[in-house]
């Protein structure tokens, strides 16, 4: 080999080793084995039943918010006692030894906790118009026929502040035991009657609510409801403050001879009937 060729070969070899690192840097070798891969940061994941890949976290969050917003509001009942000191003889006698049909301590006003408890068990929220009307009347020197006018401003104010699905004015009938008691499956119940005043603009609405509740109660315990009584004409109120709300009814719960156990059984039936008739229909209508 001539000296010139040896020189050219040596120069070529030197150039090869000089350029090799540059060439090697441009070749896309797999560096996974030697270079750690940075993992993406952990982020909260929102799952949906659809699992659609195009559904973003924002869309899913909005759907969940809408579902929370659309949760059914509770069915709300307002309970009041226009004749708040109407009493049941067996209960008064057990408490004081007296056989009274009106009492300032043991009376229908004291049933509010029992009503709220049984209604709550049926998904019904109960508010009570906490006014002892007959106590107010005595303090103001008013007579018995003035009871509805006495409670009216309290009721009117509450209905302006809150809305209710049903308003119940709870009373005790003056009828005796044979008319106000029924036996079903070896248990006795206080019968009810529903009163509607027929001399105001909401009369037909109130009647519809009353008839629906009466029928539902009789489906649960036959003849526990004595039906709907419409009142108008001389010597009656004719409206019973039902002109303030189309959802308002009067329930005569038992009579002067009914026991606390009989009243509680019937209150439970009222709660079930309201849930069956009004709460279920309300949910269906809103769905």
Q: Can you give the pLDDT at residue 8?
A: 60
For the cut 80, the answer to whether the pLDDT of residue 56 exceeds it is: no
23-37, 66-80, 144-158: which range is least confident on average?
Answer: 23-37
Read off the pLDDT of residues 168-209 as tens digits, 9 standing for 90 and up.
Answer: 999 999 999 999 999 999 999 999 999 999 999 999 999 999
**So where are the chain's domains?**
75-286
Stronger pLDDT, 35 or 224, i.e. the higher one: 224
Q: Which CATH architecture has domain 75-286?
A: 3-Layer(aba) Sandwich (3.40)
| Alpha carbons 276 and 279: distance in angstroms, whole number | 6
Average pLDDT of span 21-34: 41
- Residue of 247, 123, 111, 134 whose CA lies nearest to 190: 111
Structure confidence at residue 12 (pLDDT): 61
> Residue 16: pLDDT band by 50, 70, 90 thresholds?
low
Q: What is the CA radius of gyration of the chain?
A: 39
pLDDT score, position 24: 46
Read off the pLDDT band of 160 (50, 70, 90).
very high
pLDDT of residue 57: 39
Continuous segment of H or E residues that includes residue 204: helix 203-220
Is the confidence at residue 246, as pLDDT, over 80? yes
Predicted model pTM: 0.74
Q: Which of 28-37, 141-150, 182-191 has the lowest mean pLDDT?
A: 28-37
pLDDT at position 67 = 44
Average pLDDT of every residue of the chain: 82
Alpha helices in the chain (DSSP H): 3-26, 57-69, 89-96, 112-120, 133-140, 147-161, 177-180, 203-220, 260-274, 280-286
Quote the percentage of the chain above a pLDDT of 90.
Answer: 68
Average pLDDT of 84-105? Answer: 95
């Amino acid at each position: 080999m001539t000296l010139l060729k040896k020189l050219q070969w040596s120069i070529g070899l030197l150039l090869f080793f000089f350029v090799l690192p540059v060439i090697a840097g441009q070749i896309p070798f797999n560096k996974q084995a030697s270079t750690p891969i940075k993992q993406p940061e952990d982020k909260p994941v929102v799952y949906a039943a659809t699992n659609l890949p195009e559904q973003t976290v924002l869309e899913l969050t909005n759907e969940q918010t809408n579902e929370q917003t659309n949760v059914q509001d509770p069915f709300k009942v307002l309970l009041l006692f226009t004749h708040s000191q109407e009493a049941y003889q067996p209960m008064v006698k057990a408490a004081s030894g007296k056989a009274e049909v009106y009492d300032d301590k043991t009376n229908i006003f004291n049933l509010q906790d029992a009503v709220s408890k049984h209604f709550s068990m049926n998904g019904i929220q109960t508010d009570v118009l906490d006014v002892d009307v007959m106590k107010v009347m005595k303090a103001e020197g008013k007579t018995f026929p003035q009871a509805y006018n006495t409670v009216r401003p309290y009721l009117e104010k509450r209905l302006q502040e809150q809305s209710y699905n049903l308003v119940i004015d709870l009373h005790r009938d003056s009828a005796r035991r044979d008319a106000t008691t029924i036996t079903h499956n070896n248990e006795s119940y206080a019968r009810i009657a529903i009163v509607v005043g027929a001399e105001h603009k909401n009369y037909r609405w109130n009647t519809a609510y009353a008839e629906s509740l009466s029928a539902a109660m009789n489906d649960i315990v036959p003849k526990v409801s004595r039906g709907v009584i419409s009142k108008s004409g001389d010597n009656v109120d004719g409206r019973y403050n039902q002109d303030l709300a189309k959802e308002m009814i009067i329930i005569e719960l038992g009579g002067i001879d009914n026991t606390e156990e009989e009243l509680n059984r019937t209150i439970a039936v009222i709660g079930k009937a309201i849930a069956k008739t009004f709460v279920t229909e309300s949910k269906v209508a809103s769905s």
